[in-house]
Amino acid sequence: MSISKALIEDAITWRRGFHATPELGYNELQTSDRVAQLLESFGVEVHRGLGGTGVIGTLSNGQGPTIGIRADMDALPIQELGHCSHKSTHQGCMHACGHDGHTAILLATARHLSETRHFSGTVHFVFQPAEEGLAGAKKMIDDGLFKQFPMDAIYGLHNWPGAPAGHVVINPGPMMASLDTFEITLTGKGCHAAMPDKGADPIIAAAQLILALQTIPSRRLSPLDSAVISVTQINAGEAINVIPETAVIKGTVRCLQSPVRDKVQALIGQFVEQLPVTFDVKGQLTYLVGYPVTENHPQAASMVRRAAVAAVGESKVQWGCNPSMASEDFSFMLQACPGAYLWMGVDGEKPSAALHNPYYDFNDQVIEPGVAVWTQLVEQSLPLT
């Protein structure tokens, strides 16, 4: 396959432009305008408005199946600390997760396919807002993504520090964990810090509960199950000499299997109800179910594998890996439509900075193999007749 060097150079320019002007979830106004403008210049039909700032580009070439390819567009509320020439110009906001690269790869793919048209069928290029914790994928689905744009399969890509640049990693099953959040309010009885017997200390109950929650993965689940319970906030008290009335604990739960996810939620509820009582403290749980497990459909994952082998070579394709306990809202799309999600390595001569790191910058060398993989996927999924 021949991909124009001029196209890759243009894609790098687009990517760096997006990097310099990052926007947070549901506020990707300038980004979505630019995406729509470029798609229209390629001769791709554009639909806007799903998910607020979402953009769909549709390219048809004769009769055949229909597939979708998704890229996320939003940035993170992080102050960039690097010194690249295209550093963020928006205070407190940067593309620390590489969504600028995902968007540029999909735009370049759309232009390449519009020029070559070595496929028979329809491709929907899905540019999604608000992946970073705001469930933009679900919002697009709720707004009618798969009803207005029916697809036989949907595919997504994420850059991946820790894997060599241009290498593809994919599983025939789970790729990333579910994400749920919890807030636990412990209510005791406030009193003088010198007279703890006159009150009921919610901080002691909180300390014991935090430790007890860690026994759920280690003692209440099978060692073959995957779960992470992380307490990330504890707030209590206003004065150094007062035992407070309440303490609030917040955190997240990550699982790789849906039945395990349900069991962990139930166990946390039991712990919150029963353990604080031993300290004469009442526990109340607010549990918010968030992103599902990102689980590939085996047939679609196999399709990605074949396309990746054709695009970058078998030695650069890893079939089977340890899933990540991080989460991804592409999981909602995979619940609604068959498909698969792949990682593409970005480590060059020097390892990439981690995702969500203030020094992160997408590796532009990955744009060309990214376009090659998507192109092969389209041409193999929608063969010319």
**Residues making up the binding site for Mn(2+):** 97, 99, 132, 158, 356
Q: Rounded CA gap, 305 and 171, in Å? A: 9
Residue ranges at the known binding site: 97, 99, 132, 158, 356
Q: CB within 8 A of 59, min separation 6: which ones?
A: 44, 45, 110, 113, 114, 122, 123, 125
Q: Name the nearest CA neighbour of 127 among 104, 146, 150.
A: 104
Report which DSSP code applies to 170: E
HSE-up of residue 367 (Cα within 13 Å, Cβ side): 30
Q: Rounded CA gap, 331 and 341, in Å? A: 9
**H-run or E-run covering 374:** helix 367-381
Q: Rounded CA gap, 208 and 218, in Å? A: 16
Q: Name the nearest CA neighbour of 378 among 312, 321, 308, 319.
A: 308
HSE-up of residue 381 (Cα within 13 Å, Cβ side): 30
Q: Rounded CA gap, 153 and 338, in Å? A: 5
DSSP-assigned beta bridge partners for residue 339 = 154
Token readout for 254 is 């990550």
The total number of residues written for the chain in this structure = 385
